[in-house]
Amino acid sequence: MRVALFTNEFPPHIYGGAGVHADFLSRELKKHVDLEVRCFGDQKVDEEHMTVRGVSPLRDWSEVPPQHKGVFQTLDRDLQMAAGTTGIDLVHCHTWYSHWAGFLTKTLQGVPLVLTTHSLEPHRPWKVEQLGTGYHLSCKLEENAYRHADGVIAVSNDMKRDVVAAYGVNPDVVEVIHNGIDLDFYRPTFDENLLRSRGIDPAKPIVLFVGRITRQKGIRHLLQAAEAIDPAAQLVFCAGAPDTPEIEREATELFQKLQANREGVFWIREMLDHRDLRVLYSHASVFVCPSLYEPFGIINLEAMACGTPVVASRVGGIPEIIVDGGTGFLVPFDSESKTNFEPRNPLEFQKKMAERINAVLADEGLRKSMGEASRRRAETHFSWSAVAAQTIAFYRRVLERAGRPQN
């Protein structure tokens, strides 16, 4: 089977969960199929059963309004991705950035189109702050792809419900396949010198956040809840890649206010290498994911695989990862609506988050048992080899429905 995998993010240019997914899924897929990866960037890789070609815009698009530049650059890349891919059996796209390329490839080559739904544009309305009316086009591009897809992979049951409701996709063509985790890489890994190099005391409890500075990740609510967290704990925020200057300013103001009110607050702004991240996960007493919208939440799996309890919002696919009271705690969450994901009662959400974090910090035995249960759950349910096997089986069903069965 020859498969084209289209994605915005691919190593070394990864900044989110969809990129992590594309990276590790491709490592397993190439063991079973011939894989043609097309992505955004300058990558050029030739391996047995996998080639990778990055694409950059042919124009700089500086003549268009700034908020539209990214959209035009995406369409520029998508045209190149579609034009440079031939002789395949199936095209598999990740995120709206690659959907136009996938639709063109399906239409021009007559091959089935598979989409993995990591998130949905209509459920991220805050992006209008970043893209302006370009956000409306990204929604339309995504809608077009889902209406023409031959198969859809949802990373959680919640995501399946959302894509069926949002775009009228036939539920019979939607398969739930959870994200996976590299269990050989993400495992308890300790290095006190790395912590000390950042000014962090390895002997004191650590509350850890890792994520982009975006409304989706809920960092504002954690920063506001932090004043109620046990003052003996250190608070470490690995937070970068702000969506807009406005969001960065908001986060900076909240962070500075927090630093003024308590000691042991650290902000690591650069994107850390995952070798360093797994050390932070492993040393953390508790990992916190305050997301307002999270179709799956692969970052929680990374922390769990390192043997760390997780406190996270009860949203999206997160309850399919975390066992409430077993591997961590889920924070009750009631959003304004399906298009406004801010909590209906922000102060109550922040209060409950701090309470659950403090419950983990206060009980050493609970921390230990939750950490061990987290690692076991990651090992049992979320290996990438299992994800790839399910994906290939789904490819075969899609090809069979299209009258192009593969052995």
pLDDT at 89 over 90: yes
pLDDT in tens, 252-262: 999 999 999 99
Helix, strand, or coil (residue 361): helix
303 close to 284: Cβ distance less than 8 angstroms: yes
Classify domain 2-180+383-401 at the CATH topology level: Rossmann fold (3.40.50)
What pLDDT does 222 receive?
Answer: 97
Is the N-terminal amide bond of 12 cis, ω within 30° of 0? yes
* pLDDT score, position 22: 95
Helices 134-148, 99-109: axis angle to 10 degrees equals 40
- At residue 341, the pLDDT reads 79
**pLDDT value for 328:** 98
Reply yes or no on domain 192-381 having CATH 3.40.50.2000. Answer: yes
Surface-to-core class of residue 164, CB atoms within 10 Å of its CB (0-12 exposed, 13-18 middle, 19+ buried)? middle
The whole-angstrom separation of Cα 103 and Cα 174 is 18
- Mean pLDDT score, 269-291: 95
Q: How far apart are CA 15 and CA 253, in angstroms?
A: 24
Taking residues 43-60, what's their average pLDDT?
A: 96
Q: How many angstroms separate the first and last alpha carbons of the chain?
A: 8
CB neighbours of 117 closer than 8 A, spacing ≥ 6? 146, 152, 153, 154, 155, 159, 162, 163, 295
336 has pLDDT over 70: no
Q: Are 80 and 42 in contact (CB under 8 A)?
A: no
- Determine the pLDDT at residue 59: 95
Q: pLDDT value at position 340? A: 67
- The Cα–Cα gap between 270 and 82 comes to 33
Q: Where in the chain is the domain with CATH 3.40.50.2000?
A: 2-180+383-401, 192-381
pLDDT (0 to 100) of residue 407:
63
pLDDT band at 335 (very low <50, low <70, confident <90, very high): confident
Q: How many angstroms separate the CA atoms of 131 and 141, rounded?
A: 14
Using pLDDT thresholds of 50, 70 and 90, give the confidence band for residue 237. Answer: very high
**3-state DSSP call for residue 271?**
coil
Phi/psi at 46 (5° precision)? -130, 110
Kindly tell me if the per-residue pLDDT of 16 is higher than 90: no
* Length reported for the chain: 407
Which pLDDT value is given to residue 364?
A: 97
Confidence of residue 339 (pLDDT cuts 50, 70, 90): low
122-178 pLDDT, tens digit each: 887 777 777 788 888 999 999 999 999 999 999 999 899 999 999 999 999 999 999
Nearest to 153 by CA among 172, 170, 177: 177
In the chain, what percentage of residues exceed pLDDT 90?
81
The fraction of the chain above a pLDDT of 70, given in percent, is 99
